[in-house]
Amino acid sequence: MKNLIKIFILLLLGANILLEAKSIELSGTVISDNEKYITSRFMGYIKNVNVAEGDMVTKGTLLYSIDSTEIDSRKRQAMLSIQMYENQYITMLRNYERYKRLYEKGLVSKFEVEQLELGSKNLKDMVEISKLQIKEVENQYLYLTIKAPNDGVIVQKNIKTGEMAIPGMTALILSDLSTLKIKTEVSENDLKNIYLGQKANIIIPSMNLKTTGKITAIIPSSNPMTHSFTIKLSFETKLNIYPGMYSTILIETNKD
């Protein structure tokens, strides 16, 4: 009887040890948590592309530029409009002043004077509107030179010199290497054992890296095909780690 009790106690101890050692092993990928999709605001032919895939760039680096022919044409048209309206305004203003003098002498009607006054005001407004249009066109020149919004590496390039830059179409993808994280998926059965701030062991085999990480995000939307949830983990290392690298994650479920 005593032997049976000892065996039972040993079995309980073994079960507790196994329970404490329970963990979740996952496969993940290194990602940049600050990935920028660089697009053009205006349509035009690409004049120069100054970067290639894999290039490291700093904030403010000129990535590519777009030909200004179309905007140059708009600016010329706006300047011609100003000149035309200014000439008409000067002529109308002179007639208005002349008719005012004639009205004082009783040679023209008040209606004629008022019409010239109204026409002068309208033309003055058109001059001001044309000046604003020139400022708007000149501001568009700023969008012809596309610069890096932050430090990073060019991970994808979809444009070439001479091609048409189309607004909304991704020209380049820039990954910020200072905000790397691990992205992986957890089955909904294991989600109950996952929480923000939970620590994990992270291995990146290609770099022989073994480090610790922490869960920073749990995306509350499951994949209907795999019934899994996406999570992100932060980690620290002095090695050169890049987006796309394979990683293994080991999460202890019964201890932090």
pLDDT by residue (tens digit) across 114-145? 898 898 899 889 989 888 888 888 888 888 99
Nearest to 186 by CA among 111, 102, 117, 249: 249
Q: Which of 142, 165, 190 is the last residue of a domain?
A: 142
Judge whether residue 184 has pLDDT over 70: yes
Residue at 84 is within a domain? yes
**Residue 1: pLDDT band with limits 50, 70, 90:** low
CATH number at residue 242: 2.40.30.170
Residue at 170 is within a domain? no
Q: Residue 120 sits in which domain range?
A: 69-142
Q: Which residue has the tokens 């179409």?
A: 169
CB atoms within 10 A of CB 134: 16
Average pLDDT, the chain: 87
Residue at 218 is within a domain? yes
Q: Which of 142, 159, 194 is the last residue of a domain?
A: 142
CATH number at residue 80: 1.10.287
CA-CA distance, 67 to 165, in Å (whole number)?
10
Q: At 68, phi and psi to the nearest 5?
A: -100, 10
Q: What is the DSSP string of 56-114?
A: EE-TT-EEEEE--HHHHHHHHHHHHHHHHHHHHHHHHHHHHHHHHHHHHTTSS-HHHHH
- Indicate if 75 and 130 belong to the same structural domain: yes
Count: domains in the chain: 2
Residue at 173 is within a domain? no
Residue at 132 is within a domain? yes
Judge whether residue 54 has pLDDT over 50: yes
Q: Which of 142, 165, 189 is the last residue of a domain?
A: 142
Instruction: Record the pTM.
Output: 0.67
